[in-house]
Amino acid sequence: MLDKTIIRAVVFLLLTLSFSAMSGCKKAEARAPANPAEASAAMQDAFKQASPELKAAADETAAAIEREPTKALGQLQGISANVDLTAEQRRAAEQSMLLLLKKLRDAAAKGDAGADQALEAYRATK
Residue 28 has pLDDT above 90, yes or no: no
Alpha-carbon dihedral sign for residues 99, 62, 29, 83: positive
Domain range annotation of the chain: 36-124
Rounded to two decimals, the pTM is 0.71
Contacts of 27 (CB under 8 A, 6+ apart): none
Query: What is the mean predicted confidence (pLDDT) over 105-124?
Result: 91
* pLDDT above 60 for 19: no
Confidence grade of residue 125 (pLDDT, cut at 50, 70, 90): confident
The C-alpha atoms of residue 100 and residue 65 are separated, in whole angstroms, by 8
Model confidence at 32, pLDDT cuts 50, 70, 90, reads confident
Q: Where are the beta strands (DSSP E) in 15-89?
A: none
